[in-house]
Amino acid sequence: MIDDHVSRDKDIPSLNWDLLITFGIPMVTSYYPSVTKQAMFQAIASTLIYGKQNAVVVDAFKTTKQSDDLINWIVASCKKLSTI
């Protein structure tokens, strides 16, 4: 039976996502293979999955600088972070 006056989908918030990707960072090591002069950690991505008000973050970063960038990115989204 179809409810004529209430849409069931009306109260379901749509989900969206956004991606923040860091640059690779230098890896400090005393050994480099002969063909390599510098080793790098790979770039890392964090995903912000959000609805109308709340958000979750999937994958956090390694360094303080990366974490500060992640925090600023989340704050700029104007969403309430509920889970990392």
Question: Which DSSP string do the residues of 9-34 spell out, in sequence order?
Answer: GGGSPPPEEEEEEPPP-EEP-S---T
Whole-number pLDDT of residue 5: 44
C-alpha to C-alpha distance for 21 and 15, rounded to whole angstroms: 20
Whole-number pLDDT of residue 23: 84
Whole-number pLDDT of residue 25: 82
**47 located within any domain:** yes
Q: How many domains is the chain built from?
A: 1
C-alpha to C-alpha distance for 44 and 61, rounded to whole angstroms: 7
Range of the domain at 60: 13-30+37-83
C-alpha to C-alpha distance for 19 and 7, rounded to whole angstroms: 31
pLDDT in tens, 46-62: 999 999 889 999 988 88
Give pLDDT < 70 ranges for the chain: 1-13, 32
Whole-number pLDDT of residue 83: 87
**56 located within any domain:** yes
Is the pTM higher than 0.85? The answer reads: no
